Homo-oligomer: A and B are copies of this chain.
Amino acid sequence: MNDLFLRACRNEPTERRPVWLMRQAGRYLPEYRAIRERVDFLTLCRTPELAAEVTLQPVRRLGVDAAIVFADILLPLDAMGAGLRFAAGDGPVFDRPVRTLADVAGLAEPDVERDLGYVFAAIREARRQLAAEPAERAVPLIGFGGTPWTLAAYLVEGGASKSYGHLLSWSWQDPRGLARLLSRLADVSARYLQGQVDAGAQAIQLFDTWGGLLDARRFRELALPALRVVVEALRSRPEGRVPLIYYLNNGAHLLPELRDLPVEVISVDWRLPLDEVRAIVGPAKVLQGNLDPTALLASPQRIEEATAELLRRGSGGGHVVNLGHGILPQTPPEHAQAFVSAVQRHALAPVG
């Protein structure tokens, strides 16, 4: 069993740093594209055998130190009745965006076992398959979800957006109405993510893609309370708890707010070097990240240089190596391999 990732998340000493890639199961892999030729994206998410197969693809090909269940942060919103579709070009669309308190009241109260049980089944199946892998590849499985703020961003806009004008407009005009939506999203997320842990997820990553739209004061007022509800729910599990990873995109200006967030790992984009991030969030947090995903479009030699710099910048404390954002679909798989191998070759150097 390879438990490097879990030990690193808990800030325990490890013989080398673990590495995995955000969106590691996906479009840059030909074996993933082969499956997508047969089934569409949502069908893939909802078919546990296929989702588990895709979950293991990067483990088998690249030898990463963690797997992350194949799913989408927007699935719980579909379970709340928002009508998720993926339009041409894979952009998400909600047929019924939520923009008023009446819309919030109209959202369904999902039964996570009934409505999202396919994710739990994929987790169970992926765990089963991982346990059958050779020891080095019997890696931990990560579950994940969006933060309430980021889920609200997509749900209010009805999909991705350039300026998130509907969301931000609502936040200024009726912050209490929006808070009601965030509170419902927090409750559903807490149950959904606990269900993932019950099914076998060994860590949970919360993706905050759009938290960085807010300045610090509004982040504290709007986004943090609902995020804390989710974090506290996961921390207070009587059955014992798993490491929590909070990923914040585009949030260099919000790092001081994260010092007191009770999660083990802070995952950041590539904009700020990890030594500077650590100076702000403090030595108690393990950091995850943060190679610029566009660096994987460079030559393998350049990737190795960038990786060496990343390892140097991250060496002052606990460090789970990753990208700063999802791997780009146009990345050659051998470049992803060059990154993973460069980290793993660093095996014998002492951490810290």
Task: Give residues 280-314 of A contacting B (CB, 8 Å).
Answer: 292, 294-295, 297-299, 302
28 A–B contacts from the bound complex (CB under 8 Å): A163-B294, A163-B328, A165-B294, A165-B328, A165-B330, A168-B292, A168-B294, A168-B297, A169-B294, A169-B297, A169-B330, A171-B294, A172-B294, A172-B297, A172-B302, A173-B297, A173-B298, A214-B271, A215-B270, A215-B271, A215-B272, A215-B273, A216-B273, A217-B273, A250-B250, A252-B252, A252-B253, A253-B271
- Interface status of A212 (Cβ within 8 A of chain B): yes
B-chain residues with CB within 8 Å of residue A272 when the two chains form the complex: 215-216, 253
Q: Kindly list chain B residues whose C-beta atoms are within 8 Å of the C-beta of A172.
A: 294-295, 297-298, 302
> Chain B residues with Cβ under 8 A from A250's Cβ?
250
Chain A residue total in the interface (Cβ 8 A):
29
Contact with B along A213-252 (1 / 0, CB 8 A): 0111110000000000000000000000000000000101
Question: Distance (Å) between the CB of A128 and the closest chain B CB?
Answer: 35
Q: Complex Cα distance A240/B171, Å?
A: 46
Contacts of A169 in B (CB 8 A): 294, 297, 330
* C-alpha gap A299/B173 in the complex (Å): 7
Write the nearest CB–CB distance from A281 to chain B, whole angstroms: 14
State how many angstroms separate the Cβ of A3 from the closest Cβ of chain B.
31
Q: Which of A8-27 contact B (CB under 8 A)?
A: none
The closest CB in chain B to the CB of A167 belongs to: B294
A311-339: CB near B (< 8 Å → 1, else 0) gives 00000000000000000101000000000
- Determine the distance from Cα of A330 to Cα of B170 in the docked complex, in whole angstroms: 13
Measured CA separation A299–B250 after assembly (Å) = 28
Cα(A111)–Cα(B157), bound, Å: 44
The distance from the CB of A157 to the nearest CB of chain B, in whole angstroms, is 13
Query: A271 contacts which chain B residues (CB < 8 A)?
Result: 212, 214-215, 253
Instruction: List residues of A (159-188) whose CB comes within 8 Å of B's CBs.
Output: 163, 165, 168-169, 171-173
Given contacts A253-B252, A271-B253, contact A292 B215 (CB under 8 A): yes
Quick one: CB contact mask for A135-167 with B, threshold 8 Å, 1 for yes?
Answer: 000000000000000000000000000010100
Task: Report the nearest B residue to A324, measured CB to CB.
Answer: B215
Q: How far is the CA of A212 from the CA of B165 in the complex (A)?
A: 21
Residue with the highest number of chain B CB atoms closer than 10 Å, among A172, A173, A218: A172
Inter-chain contacts of A299 with B (CB < 8 A):
173
**A329–B34 Cα gap in the complex (Å)?**
43
Chain B residues positioned under 8 Å from A294 (CB to CB): 163, 165, 168-169, 171-172
Least CB distance, A110 to chain B, in whole angstroms: 30
Q: Chain B residues with Cβ under 8 A from A163's Cβ?
A: 294, 328
Q: How far is the CA of A241 from the CA of B143 in the complex (A)?
A: 58
